[in-house]
Amino acid sequence: MKTIISGFGCVCSLGSNTEEITKNIFEGLIKPSYIKDRFESSYIRDYPVFQVSDAVLAQREENESYSFLFLRKALSEAMEKAGLEKADFKSMKVGVCVGTSVDASFNCFDFYKNWRGKAAHSLDPLEKYIKYSVSDEVLNFLGIKGLSQTIVTACASGTDAIGIGAEWIENGFCDIVIAGGTDELNLITFTGFIKLMIAGKEHCKPFDKNRNGINLGEGAGVFILESQNSVKKRNGVKFGTVLGYGNACDGYHATAPEPEGRGLRKAIDFAMKQAGVSKENLAFINAHATGAVDNDLAESKALGSMLGGVPISATKGYTGHALGAAGAVEALISLICLNELKIPKTNNFETVDENLGIIPVSENTDIEKNKAALSDSLAFGGCNSCIILGGKDYE
Amino acid sequence: MNKLYLKSSAFAESTNGIEELFDVKQLSRIDNFIKISLLSAAKTLSKADIKLDEKKEDIGLIIATGRGSVKQTCNFMDSIIDDGDILASPLAFAASMHNSIETYISILLKFRGPCLTISQGGGSFESAINTAKSWLLSKRCRYVLLGAADEVHPVIRKEYVHKIYGKECAAFFLLTFEETDKEFIFESGMKDDYNPSMHAFELAKRHMPFLNKKDMERIIPDFIKTSLSGKRKDVMFVFDNLSAKEMLKKIEKKEKEEVFSKLKLFCGINNIDITENKEIEEICFDAFMRNNQINFFTSGSTDIPKNCIHTHEMIREETEGVSFLFNNIKRVVTTVPAHHSYGFLFGVQLPKLLNLSVVSKAPLPFLEWDKILRDGDLLVTFPMFLKYFIDMDFKFPKGVTILTSTSPCPDNIFDEMYKRGAEKIIEIYGSSETGAIGFRESSGAPFFLLPFWNYIEQGSVISEVYRKKTDLRSELPDIVRSKSERVFSVIERKDHAVKIAGINVYPLKIEKILKKHNDVKEAVVRLGDERLKAFIVLNDGVSVKTAKKSIYDYMQSALTAHEMPKNITFGDKLPLTPFGKTADW
């Protein structure tokens, strides 16, 4: 697989565009904060999260979800980098493949509360929910028709969306695919993760011995993926390459990962074969590493045994766990790292956990040129996926 | 680009039969629509001879769900609203994940390959097909199990009641590039956001085979038994539980030839000599699959016996159209032969659609019916057999629904069945020509027209019925009066003219005249060998010898020469088919 990344954009707690994100991630100063003015919850002052800036939140249009706002902003940045206008898509075979969690769910809490309580309510939120899909909405935003797919493999959605989008190009379904993930902080997921006792009350500590739960996050990451012919035809720029994609299920438990990382191993194995890379060709791994006790353990088993010695970066200490957006945001960060030739320190990592058998980088670390990166995701239900990326100079 | 082929497919809209495939413990805490999906996925794999308990390293799994686990999302919000977020239910949240179908299928059916869930309303299934194809092209897997499943959203159902025709259902397709006899063809652009998975569900139903070989093991023996029943007494008893091959060994050459000639007509076999072939079920099965239709014969009780061809499409429309009557049924117990139009619909096709197991029993009163019947059963039977339950002073176990048809169910039988503990009695009105037309659930009540029919009225009389989807149109066998929209009462049988020496005569009219004679208890008149024939049952205590002349004189005075039956047979009781309709003699 050699699908060109000809544009990219991102919005998350690290910044409202990739330049801000690049600057902030290597400064390493970011911390989670408490939710303000988004929704009411008894837990707001107990569980910190990673939020998109107020300046971005204020840009939401009427009837727009925050998830779509983030996606729209990330897409606009990606289009600008790719040198594409909306009209340019009209002559191309276009695909849109977006991962999400919240933006595909019936999360109209206020509507539902009023509806259930028989209080006066408009059916507009329901009507919108019935007809809405985030990937179709991207096509509407661009004013075009094309292949559309909204992926909901929970926390692996963003990685799956990029892998599938790249494969659509490889298999000739599309010339160009807008692929990524988006998600927003929301009462339902916020309360749900707390009730499942997965959320932590402090800044998360991926792969740390004292890790004690996740911090939720939000944002969107978008890649513009293109065939080599299409990039060449329009004199586009190559920012990187999607080299491989693997996906495999654990078939083990509804909420817990298979302890030995069985599905993840299979996903990694397929992706590396498809990419034609061995572990010696990997510059680093951007791990899923949520800071949850069992998840980090299962992931480390797979990474340690298959890819021991490859530098590991874990970035949820900067972004939180952005659920359906996580894989896309981390793929974006991986691309930034490949092109900056360094990976950031693992924020808030302090104590090595001997049980894991791996140690993430604790300082900003230079990486070798002309090597690839692997970014993986593990999700509820035992979904595992990973993609392998090359930077702008990777051949 | 490579073509997608269908290795197998299946659908489910209830969990009936799931306990036979999975341990009950494995299914605890799993939502209904996930169980339905599991069942449908398991059936699809089984049809492709893939073992359920084998690890599936080389099969991808893609779930298309328009809305995901919406009921659990609502449950979680309910718990926040009712109990506050501190007491909100973690179980409901965990179960509300969009990929929960994928999760449970991958766990319980041991999937180890790629897996994915796609959710974008009515466009989910069509979108998923692209990725299934892409996976196969990239050789991620050899097969993709693609499923579509949805719950009916509780809020949408309430607010958009007229737009919702969907139901909780799942449909699965095992796709491959390896050529099979079925290319997977999907009509794009059929997006329905209000009923997101219904298009896939309909598609799976279209792929449901008309019949399977196991069905033939019931249909052909039943056909032979019924064919012999006019000539042999106790055929049900003597031949019960025998295979077609065993039965054929026991009958004479002439009987065998008669059976084969009828069987050829029934199955639409033209050029094959089945008399010498032992694999009779195989030949009949191949003929059915080739013709994609079945030929029901009328009994001749209301007219001259004739053939009524029903296509697969017609039978599917009918089966789906009656299925709403049987929501709480867990098993079908049928006493009606499987080749008969009524037995075929309710004893073969309906159980297949609703995934119900079937117990087939001869209509013999001396069987231990109290041990056979159990809670949740649908007893498919007919009025004459129900009379035996009254004679036996039978008490029905709790939860048995009775379905009766083939001839009108008298009010007293209706009432007696309820008195004897039947949960519900459904009477189906119809004919071999039309299949089921209407139903009612209490004595004396009018019938409701089944939803797959439209009708034409002339005055207040329903003159004709026609199907909504398929090309089936028919006059009704009776005079039927419309009571209100789609509600009707059956007044009496229509008297169809037969030609005797070029003159129209009316057998029913002659029957009525015969029954007016003081000595006559029952009478049936039919067309015999170019002239009419009559079968007469005399009142108790009246001998044939004394009544014969009086009846003959009476007929001479009351009937014209063309109306006079040429042959009169006297008997103790009317000749009946094994399920209560007047048989030929």
Distance from the B353 Cα atom to the nearest Cα atom in chain A, whole angstroms: 29
Torsion angle in degrees (nearest 10) through CA of B574, B579, B581, B585: -50
Chain B residues near residue A251 by CB distance under 8 angstroms: 55, 106-107, 109-112
pLDDT at B276 (0 to 100) = 59
For chain A, the helix, strand and coil percentages under 3-state DSSP, each to the nearest 5: 40, 20, 40
Contact A176, A226 (CB under 8 A): yes
Band of the pLDDT at B121, cuts 50, 70, 90? very high
Is the pLDDT score of B234 beyond 80?
A: no
Query: Could you give phi then psi for residue B247, rounded to 5 degrees?
Result: -65, -45
Alpha carbon distances (Å) from B44 to B18, B201, B355: 13, 13, 13
**B155 in A contact zone (CB under 8 Å):** yes
Report helix, strand or coil for A197: coil
Q: How far is CA A152 from the centre of its chain?
A: 12
Is the pLDDT score of A160 beyond 80?
A: yes
The verdict on residue A395 lying in a domain is no
Which B residues in the span 95-114 are in contact with A, Cβ-Cβ below 8 Å? 96-100, 102-104, 106-107, 109-114
pLDDT at B509 (0 to 100) = 86
* d(C-alpha B22, C-alpha B45), whole Å: 14
Average pLDDT on B552-556 reads: 89
Which residue of A113, A123, A149 is in closest CB contact with B131? A149
Least confident of B65-74, B132-141, B217-226: B217-226
Query: Could you give phi then psi for residue A284, rounded to 5 degrees?
Result: -165, 170
Average pLDDT on B135-153 reads: 96
Which residue of B81, B118, B193 is in closest CB contact with A150? B118
* d(C-alpha A15, C-alpha B197), whole Å: 39
pLDDT at B208 (0 to 100) = 80
Distance from the B88 Cα atom to the nearest Cα atom in chain A, whole angstroms: 7
Is the pLDDT score of B373 beyond 60?
A: yes
Per-residue pLDDT of A63-85, as tens digits, reads 899 999 999 999 999 999 999 99
Say whether A173 and B74 touch across the interface (CB within 8 A): no
Is the pLDDT score of B153 beyond 80?
A: yes
Which residue of A116, A251, A266 is in closest CB contact with B81? A116
Average pLDDT on B360-366 reads: 86
Q: Which tops the pLDDT comparison, B334 or B529?
A: B334
Chain B residues near residue A192 by CB distance under 8 angstroms: 76, 88, 90, 93-94, 96
HEC string of B506-550 equals CHHHHHHHHHCCCCEEEEEEEECCCCEEEEEEECCCCCHHHHHHH
Which B residues in the span 44-63 are in contact with A, Cβ-Cβ below 8 Å? 55, 61
Band of the pLDDT at A391, cuts 50, 70, 90? very high
Hey, which residues does B474 pair with through a beta bridge?
B465
Contact A346, A362 (CB under 8 A): yes
HEC string of B210-270 equals CCCHHHHHHHHHHHHHHHHHCCCCCHHHHHCCCCHHHHHHHCCHHHHHHHHHHHHHHHCCC
Per-residue pLDDT of B158-196, as tens digits, reads 899 888 887 889 999 999 999 988 899 888 888 899 999
Per-residue pLDDT of A110-142, as tens digits, reads 999 999 998 888 898 899 999 999 999 999 999
Say whether B94 and A247 touch across the interface (CB within 8 A): no
**A107 in B contact zone (CB under 8 Å):** yes
Range of the domain at A194: 3-390
Which residue of B86, B102, B110 is in closest CB contact with A381? B102
* d(C-alpha B479, C-alpha B308), whole Å: 20
Q: Looking at the domain covering B292-493, what would its CATH class be?
A: alpha beta
Q: Which tops the pLDDT comparison, B580 or B198?
A: B198
Average pLDDT on B329-333 reads: 94
Say whether B80 and A191 touch across the interface (CB within 8 A): yes
Which residue of B98, B116, B159 is in closest CB contact with A247? B116
Size of interface A-B (CB pairs under 8 A): 187
**A160 in B contact zone (CB under 8 Å):** yes
Q: Which of B91, B119, B126, B136 to mutate to test the interface with A (most CBs of A within 10 A)?
A: B119
CATH superfamily of B5-206: Thiolase/Chalcone synthase (3.40.47.10)
Average pLDDT on B372-393 reads: 93
Report helix, strand or coil for B394: coil
Number of domains in chain A: 1
Band of the pLDDT at B305, cuts 50, 70, 90? low
Say whether B123 and A133 touch across the interface (CB within 8 A): yes
Is the pLDDT score of B562 beyond 90?
A: no
Chain B residues near residue A105 by CB distance under 8 angstroms: 68, 73, 96, 98
Band of the pLDDT at B512, cuts 50, 70, 90? confident
pLDDT at A355 (0 to 100) = 95
Least confident of A19-33, A232-246, B269-283: B269-283
Say whether B77 and A113 touch across the interface (CB within 8 A): yes
Average pLDDT on A16-28 reads: 96
Q: Please provide the average confidence, as pLDDT, over all residues in chain B.
A: 89
**A253 in B contact zone (CB under 8 Å):** yes
Indicate the pairing of strand B461-467 with strand B453-458: antiparallel
**Does the B498-571 domain belong in CATH 3.30.300.30?**
yes
**A186 in B contact zone (CB under 8 Å):** no
pLDDT at A27 (0 to 100) = 94
Is the pLDDT score of B303 beyond 60?
A: no
Is the pLDDT score of A364 beyond 60?
A: yes
* d(C-alpha B214, C-alpha A306), whole Å: 50
Strands of chain A, DSSP E: 3-12, 94-100, 147-151, 176-183, 219-226, 240-249, 282-287, 312-314, 342-343, 365-366, 372-379, 383-390
Chain B residues near residue A135 by CB distance under 8 angstroms: 120
ipTM over 0.95: yes
Domains B5-206 and B292-493 share a fold: no
Question: Would you give the DSSP letter of residue B153?
Answer: P
Contact B186, B203 (CB under 8 A): yes
**A379 in B contact zone (CB under 8 Å):** yes
Q: Which residue has the tokens 């874990």?
A: A314
- The DSSP string of A96-131 is EEEEESGGGS---HHHHHHHHTT----SHHHHHHHH
* d(C-alpha B122, C-alpha B142), whole Å: 27
- Percentage of the residues of chain A whose pLDDT score is greater than 90: 94
**B78 in A contact zone (CB under 8 Å):** yes
Least confident of A45-59, A274-288, B197-211, B436-450: B197-211
Indicate the pairing of strand B567-571 with strand B532-538: parallel
Say whether A380 and B99 touch across the interface (CB within 8 A): yes
- The DSSP string of B479-509 is EEEEEETTEEEEEEE----EEETTEEE-HHH
Least confident of A94-108, A110-124, B87-101: A110-124
Chain B residues near residue A273 by CB distance under 8 angstroms: none
pLDDT at B162 (0 to 100) = 87
* d(C-alpha A7, C-alpha A17), whole Å: 13
Q: Which of B428, B419, B349, B439 is nearest to B381 (CA)?
A: B428
Is the pLDDT score of B319 beyond 90?
A: yes
Q: Which two tokens stand for residue B408?
A: 């009108």
* d(C-alpha A85, C-alpha B304), whole Å: 76
Report helix, strand or coil for B380: strand
Chain B residues near residue A164 by CB distance under 8 angstroms: 116, 131, 134
**CATH number for the domain harbouring residue A240:** 3.40.47.10
pLDDT at B278 (0 to 100) = 64
A24-50 burial by CB neighbour count: b if 16+ within 10 A, else e? bbeeeebebeebeebeebebeeebbbb
Average pLDDT on B7-16 reads: 91
pLDDT at B231 (0 to 100) = 65
Closest chain B residue to A248, measured at CA = B114
Q: Which tops the pLDDT comparison, B359 or B476?
A: B359
Say whether A105 and B73 touch across the interface (CB within 8 A): yes
Distance from the A343 Cα atom to the nearest Cα atom in chain B, whole angstroms: 30
* Signed CA dihedral, B412, B418, B419, B421: sign only: positive
Distance from the A344 Cα atom to the nearest Cα atom in chain B, whole angstroms: 31
Per-residue pLDDT of B416-456, as tens digits, reads 999 999 999 999 999 888 999 999 999 889 999 999 999 99
Torsion angle in degrees (nearest 10) through CA of B369, B372, B374, B379: -70
Is the pLDDT score of B375 beyond 80?
A: yes
Is the pLDDT score of B92 beyond 90?
A: yes
Is the pLDDT score of A317 beyond 70?
A: yes
Neighbours of B96 (CB within 10 A): 25
* d(C-alpha A97, C-alpha A168), whole Å: 10
Q: Which two tokens stand for residue A195?
A: 């009730």
Closest chain B residue to A263, measured at CA = B112
Band of the pLDDT at A57, cuts 50, 70, 90? very high
pLDDT at B363 (0 to 100) = 85
Band of the pLDDT at A157, cuts 50, 70, 90? very high
Q: Please provide the average confidence, as pLDDT, over all residues in chain A.
A: 96
Average pLDDT on B454-466 reads: 91
Band of the pLDDT at A203, cuts 50, 70, 90? very high
Q: Which two tokens stand for residue B23?
A: 């341990």
Contact A279, A368 (CB under 8 A): no
Average pLDDT on A290-302 reads: 95
Indicate the pairing of strand B143-150 with strand B59-64: parallel
Identity of the residue numbered A149: Q
pLDDT at B274 (0 to 100) = 72
Q: Which of B61, B86, B130, B191 to mutate to test the interface with A (most CBs of A within 10 A)?
A: B130
Give domain limits for chain B. Answer: 5-206, 209-291, 292-493, 498-571
**B309 in A contact zone (CB under 8 Å):** no
Let me know how long chain A is: 395
Which B residues in the span 128-147 are in contact with A, Cβ-Cβ below 8 Å? 128, 130-131, 133-135, 137-138, 140
Q: Which of A350, A342, A386 is nearest to A26 (CA)?
A: A342
Chain A residues near residue B195 by CB distance under 8 angstroms: none
Contact B305, B298 (CB under 8 A): yes
Band of the pLDDT at B268, cuts 50, 70, 90? confident
Chain B residues near residue A270 by CB distance under 8 angstroms: 114, 140
Contact B158, B70 (CB under 8 A): no
Report helix, strand or coil for B433: coil
Band of the pLDDT at A371, cuts 50, 70, 90? very high
**Long-range pairs for A192-198: beta carbons < 8 A, 24 or more residues apart:** A192/B76, A192/B88, A192/B90, A192/B93, A192/B94, A192/B96, A193/B93, A194/A43, A194/A47, A195/B88, A195/B89, A195/B90, A195/B93, A196/A255, A196/B90, A196/B93, A196/B94, A197/B90, A198/A292
The verdict on residue A200 lying in a domain is yes
Which residue of A112, A248, A379 is in closest CB contact with B112? A248
pLDDT at B236 (0 to 100) = 67
Which residue of B114, B121, B138 is in closest CB contact with A248? B114
Is the pLDDT score of B43 beyond 90?
A: yes
The verdict on residue A37 lying in a domain is yes
Report helix, strand or coil for A257: coil
Which residue of B67, B120, B131 is in closest CB contact with A135? B120
Q: Which of A356, A355, A357, A393 is nearest to A373 (CA)?
A: A393
Per-residue pLDDT of B385-398, as tens digits, reads 999 999 989 999 99
Is the pLDDT score of B577 beyond 90?
A: no
